[in-house]
Amino acid sequence: MTSLEALMLAGVGPPAVLLAVLGGASLLNRPVPERWTGRLAAAAMAISCTAFCVALLLYATTRTGGMVLYGSWSTSHAGGIAIEFLLDGTSLGFAALTSAIAGVVAAFSNRYLHREPGYNRYFFLLAMFVTGMLLVALAGNMEVLFAGWELVGLSSALLVAFFHERPAPVTNALRVFTVYRISDAAMLSAAVLLHHVAGSGSLALLFGGADAASTAGLTGTDATMIAVLLIVAVAGKSALLPFSGWLPRAMEGPTPSSAIFYGALSIHAGAYLLLRAAPIIEASSLVAETIIVVGLLTALHGTFVGRACPDAKNSLAYAAMAQLGIIFIEIGFGWYQL
């Protein structure tokens, strides 16, 4: 095992262990005391952030990343389900940013939710979310990406319904969950199509551009279909039109979760995915134009509606939506560094 792999595991491990500890303790009806939950969450995020920052520095000096395979399931036939991670500057950078923001939010949440009846439940869902985001950031194939995508969606919907004693959060959570199901179905369809055509779910076929795709037998039509499915998946998760209606409704959750999910990380996961898949998007002008149009309409919608919002949280939600639209326009035009 290389140093970079060890650091990657040290980064993903603490949030996953926190998820297992808090979930296992709750299942055994022995919830972790509040003072320990906060400390465990702070330690997990700090270790994760430190590990990814060191890994990013190590990659910048050695350039020794690439695909990492940790075994596979269902290997009795060709194209079995593998567990792969992609370590490069973009994935490690996004993972470091994820754990850093999660650490700040965890520290604030420890005080904001002090003596709240759902305190442990909140941190369990926060750990689930961070674990899912790290899997999305580091995914080397569609299987790992889909697992992370599902964890992010499930934790997000449950946190919208956090105050379940009131009807509005539950109703809005069901709305969010419904849109996420459409997004997840598109993501799963893309994964199945990629497996069917190329015999592999490796994201190197999408992230490697036309050369990697043609080597695996992925034609221009197949690549376009996969890219369109990814756009639908991303539009649902990132609150782009026509799926943007769920974003203001998601503000029924606790303020810290609204900040990390719908202001910082969750809605930007789709932008990150399209940025990684930029080489395959460049191969189709239709896909690039679709991203630009959707981004432009979303930016205009978020700007105009946000200026008419009477409360701060909804105004911030629409501001984030408008900013996302601008990001997608930049991706569509190929302005990746910007």
Structure tokens at 333: 């035009």
| Lowest mean pLDDT segment, chosen from 95-104, 156-165, 189-198 | 189-198
Exposure pattern of 300-338 as b/e (b: 16+ CB <10 Å)? ebbbebbeeeeeebbbbbbbbbbbbbbbbbbbbeeeeee
Model pLDDT for residues 104-114, shown as the tens digit of each residue: 999 898 888 88
Query: Is residue 46's pLDDT more than 90?
Result: yes
Is the backbone peptide bond immediately before 279 cis, with ω within 30 degrees of 0? no
pLDDT, residue 200, reads: 62
Per-residue pLDDT tens over the stretch 121-141: 899 999 999 999 999 999 888
**pLDDT at 288 (0 to 100):** 86
Q: How are beta strands 66-73 and 81-87 bridged, if at all? A: antiparallel
* Structure confidence by residue, pLDDT tens digits, 83-121: 888 888 889 999 999 999 999 999 898 888 888 888 888
- pLDDT of 25 above 80: yes
Higher-confidence residue of 195 and 105: namely: 105
In angstroms, the CA 133 to CA 124 distance is: 14
* Helix 34-62, helix 3-27: angle, nearest 10: 160
Average predicted confidence (pLDDT) for the chain: 84
pLDDT tens digit string along 310-328?
888 788 888 888 999 999 9
* Model confidence, pTM: 0.87
Among 6-15, 137-146, 215-224, which is the least confidently predicted range?
Answer: 215-224
Closest C-alpha among 260, 263, 259, 291 to residue 278:
291
Backbone φ and ψ for 60, nearest 5 degrees, come out as: -65, -30
Query: Percentage of the chain with pLDDT > 90?
Result: 26
